[in-house]
Structure 1
Amino acid sequence: MKRFGVFVVLCVWIVEALDSCPNACRCSQKRNVEGTEVNCYKQKLQEFPSIFPLDSWILKMGENQIQELPANMIKSFPKLESVNLERNSIKSIHPQAFSGASRLMLLNLNGNQITNLPLKGFKDLLNLRFLMLGQNQIAGIKSDMFTGMRNLSDLDLPMNSLTTLPPNAFKPLIALKVLDLALNHIQKISPKAFSGLEELLFLNLDNNRLKNIQAGTFRTVNNLEMLVLDNNLLSSLSSSMLEGLSNLQEFYVRKNQIKRLPADVFRHTPKLSQVALSGNQLHTIDGNMLANIQGLKHVYLHENPWKCDCNINSLLQYINQKQVNRAPLEKLWCVSPGEHRGKPIHRLKPESLQCDA
């Protein structure tokens, strides 16, 4: 009899959940989860529905036509942990849109038309771990936009319209581990832009318009393990630019315009295991500089205009060391002088490398 009573209560709960399901959506309970998954994917919705099951756990609302996120839109759903609103037409977010959503862990707003984030608009998202804002039109960021997000670990902002990173831009994000800023138009980074990001492990600045990075810019992210600066306009690197990166393990600076590397450029990065400098304008490099980085295992230097004269002897010696991965280094080809043009560097003999008097 007791089992029958439990069964009746369960049936009533399911019926009530389904009754409050938006007409265009499918609602279902998942095994071992006391909550309802609401799937409104690709239903041509033009407004955020006002009625959901009270125990809603996941909202899937991608590829609709929603343009605005109203105030208190998810306040009545205390179990909500994930909201996916990717590829809608969202242009505006009310400052109280996410009011009361203290259990929300994932918010996906990729592929919308957002130009501005409301100040303190995410302040109630105390447990949010993942915030996805890629493929929008966000032109500027301020620290007040991220107030309250003390547990955020992953912030994705690729393919927006950012041109500068101001001081303290991400300061409230004290638990942030991943920051993706690729495919923007960033030309200038304040030396204090990354203040507060002491837990950051991965920073992606690929495909921006950086010509220069000021000394000490990365000083506050001293736990960073991977830095990506590919596809920018950098013409030089310096040790002061990399100051503070004592835990950096992977460094990618491919397809820039770097012509030379100072002998002490990696002085502040003793833990480097992988360096990628392919697709630059390097004519020569000091192999001893690379040899002094004890844990370095992978070096990528192809697609540079190597000048094979006596100044490249130390690089040739480094290539022949057994402890490094030789495969990528065997792709290096001489561009000049004429007698060595087209030859692979690793097959050259030191005695054949001459320098002008």
Structure 2
Amino acid sequence: MKLVAGLAVLWLWVAEAVENCPSVCKCSQKFSTEKIEVNCQKRGLENIPPQLPLDSWILKMGDNLLQDVPANILTSSPKIESVNLERNSIKLIDPQAFGGAQRLKLLNLQGNQISKLPVKGFKDLLNLRFLMLGHNQIASLKPNMFIGMKNLSDLDLPLNSLTALPPNAFKPLVALKVLDLALNRIQRISPKAFVGLEELIFLNLDNNKLKNIQAGTFGPLTGLEMLVLDNNLLSTLATSTLDGLSNLRELYVRKNEIESLPADVFRHTPKLTHVGLSGNRLHSIDGNMLANMQGLKEVYLFDNPWKCDCSINSLVHYIAQTTANHSPLRRLLCVSPEAVRDRPIHQLKSDELPC
């Protein structure tokens, strides 16, 4: 009798779970917990199901036909922690869309058609850790867009239409660790754009339109460990540009238009271990500057138009003496003068460098 009673209870639970699951979706329960995953991926849906199981933990709505996110989409499932809305056709997000979703930790909106974020639209997401907004059409940012997100650790905004970063753009995000702004069209960064981001560890500005960066812009980023500025239009890197980055360990400024570097450019970054300067327009560089960087492990200098005269004597000496990996040596070549054209720099001797 006990076995029959147990089976009856199990049948009733299964029936209830199926009843509460949207008919077009598939619901599954995590073993040994009451957490339910609601999978509505690739169902051709134009709307988010109005009723979800009370114990919903994950909602997957990717690859559907949603055009907007209406108000209070998660009120029927207050325990939800992860929502995936990627690769729909979402253009609008109601300011109250995520009202009451205080347990939400991950929100994926990448691959939509969002051009504008709602003011205070994420204010209820007090425990959100990951916000993915990449591959949209977001053209501008304002500080009040991120109000309330005091626990956000990862903000992904690549492949959007940003042209500038205004003052205090991310100020409410006091716990942010990772900020990805790659593949935008950013030309201007306010010197106060990164105020409030003392906890940031990784900043990616790869593939933008930056020609210069004002002194002190990175000053608030006292905890930053990795900065990526590859594929921009920077013509120089001033000492003041790196002011405040005392914990920086990796700096990548590859494929820019840098022609020269001040001898003290890394004065404010004593912990650097990796520096990428390949693909620029450098003719020479002070080898003593590199030699004085005691922790340097990797420095990438290839694909620059090196002028192998006595101006690079200190670089030749540095390469011969250092134990750091200074890029694939076979690609570190002289461009001029003609007598040493295409010679690997590490094969040169000081007496071969004309003045």
| Structure 1, 26-35 or 245-254: larger mean CA deviation | 26-35
Could you tell me which residue of structure 2 aligns to residue 328 of structure 1? 328
Q: Distance in 1 between matches of 2:336 and 2:19?
A: 76
Q: Does 1:23 align with 2:32?
A: no
Could you tell me which residue of structure 1 aligns to residue 81 of structure 2? 81
Q: Distance in 1 between matches of 2:51 and 2:17?
A: 11
Could you tell me which residue of structure 2 aligns to residue 124 of structure 1? 124
Q: Distance in 2 between matches of 1:231 and 1:214?
A: 18
User: Is 1:18–1:53's contact at 8 Å kept on the other side of the alignment?
Assistant: no
Could you tell me which residue of structure 1 aligns to residue 149 of structure 2? 149
Question: Structure 1 residue 32: deviation in Å?
Answer: 2.8
Question: Structure 1 residue 54: deviation in Å?
Answer: 1.2
Residue aligned with 2:241, SS: coil
Q: Deviations over 1:237-265 (max 9, x none)?
A: 01100000000000000000000000010
Could you tell me which residue of structure 2 aligns to residue 136 of structure 1? 136
User: Is 2:300–2:327's contact at 8 Å kept on the other side of the alignment?
Assistant: no
Residue aligned with 1:269, SS: coil
Q: CA 1:235 to 1:327, structure 2 compared with 1: closer, same or farther past 3 Å?
A: closer
Q: Distance in 2 between matches of 1:97 and 1:184?
A: 26
Q: Does 1:279 align with 2:285?
A: no
List aligned pairs for 1:260-279, cutoff 5 A.
260-279=260-279
Residue aligned with 2:77, SS: coil
Question: Structure 1 residue 4: deviation in Å?
Answer: 6.5
Q: TM-score, normalised by structure 1?
A: 0.97
Q: CA 1:232 to 1:327, structure 2 compared with 1: closer, same or farther past 3 Å?
A: closer
Could you tell me which residue of structure 1 aligns to residue 253 of structure 2? 253
User: Is 1:319–1:329's contact at 8 Å kept on the other side of the alignment?
Assistant: no
Question: Structure 1 residue 349: deviation in Å?
Answer: 1.1
Task: In structure 2, give the amino acid aligned to 1:190.
Answer: S
Could you tell me which residue of structure 2 aligns to residue 337 of structure 1? 337
Q: Deviations over 1:18-74 (max 9, x none)?
A: 112112111111113311101111110011111211111101110000001110110
User: Is 2:42–2:64's contact at 8 Å kept on the other side of the alignment?
Assistant: yes
Residue aligned with 2:321, SS: coil
List aligned pairs for 1:202-217, cutoff 5 A.
202-217=202-217
Q: Deviations over 1:76-128 (max 9, x none)?
A: 21210000000000000000000000000000000000011101100010110
Identity of aligned residues (%): 69
User: Is 2:188–2:210's contact at 8 Å kept on the other side of the alignment?
Assistant: yes
User: Is 1:332–1:345's contact at 8 Å kept on the other side of the alignment?
Assistant: yes
Q: Distance in 1 between matches of 2:124 and 2:114?
A: 20
Could you tell me which residue of structure 2 aligns to residue 108 of structure 1? 108
Question: Structure 1 residue 328: deviation in Å?
Answer: 2.7
List aligned pairs for 1:35-46, cutoff 5 A.
35-46=35-46
Q: Deviations over 1:188-240 (max 9, x none)?
A: 00000000001000000000000000000000001000000000000000110
Task: In structure 2, give the amino acid aligned to 1:117.
Answer: L
Q: Does 1:166 align with 2:166?
A: yes
User: Is 1:299–1:329's contact at 8 Å kept on the other side of the alignment?
Assistant: no
| Structure 1, 255-264 or 315-324: larger mean CA deviation | 315-324
User: Is 1:236–1:258's contact at 8 Å kept on the other side of the alignment?
Assistant: yes
User: Is 2:278–2:300's contact at 8 Å kept on the other side of the alignment?
Assistant: yes
Q: Distance in 1 between matches of 2:335 and 2:136?
A: 42
Question: Structure 1 residue 14: deviation in Å?
Answer: 3.0
Q: Distance in 1 between matches of 2:269 and 2:27?
A: 52
Structure 2 unaligned blocks of 5 or more: none
Residue aligned with 2:311, SS: helix
Task: In structure 2, give the amino acid aligned to 1:89.
Answer: S
The count of residues paired between Structure 1 and Structure 2 equals: 355
Q: Does 1:195 align with 2:206?
A: no
Question: Structure 1 residue 13: deviation in Å?
Answer: 3.0
Could you tell me which residue of structure 2 aligns to residue 232 of structure 1? 232
Q: Distance in 1 between matches of 2:268 and 2:154?
A: 26
Q: CA 1:193 to 1:9, structure 2 compared with 1: closer, same or farther past 3 Å?
A: farther
| Structure 1, 260-269 or 320-329: larger mean CA deviation | 320-329
Residue aligned with 1:179, SS: strand
- After the TM superposition, list the runs of 4 or more consecutive aligned residues in structure 1 that deviate by more than 6 angstroms: 1-4
Question: Structure 1 residue 3: deviation in Å?
Answer: 7.5
Q: Distance in 2 between matches of 1:327 and 1:283?
A: 16
Q: Distance in 2 between matches of 1:311 and 1:52?
A: 70
| Structure 1, 87-96 or 12-21: larger mean CA deviation | 12-21
| Structure 1, 328-337 or 183-192: larger mean CA deviation | 328-337
Residue aligned with 2:83, SS: strand
User: Is 1:299–1:328's contact at 8 Å kept on the other side of the alignment?
Assistant: no
Task: In structure 2, give the amino acid aligned to 1:77.
Answer: S
Q: Distance in 1 between matches of 2:225 and 2:2?
A: 57
Q: Distance in 2 between matches of 1:75 and 1:27?
A: 18
Task: In structure 1, give the amino acid aligned to 2:96.
Answer: Q
Task: In structure 2, give the amino acid aligned to 1:347.
Answer: Q
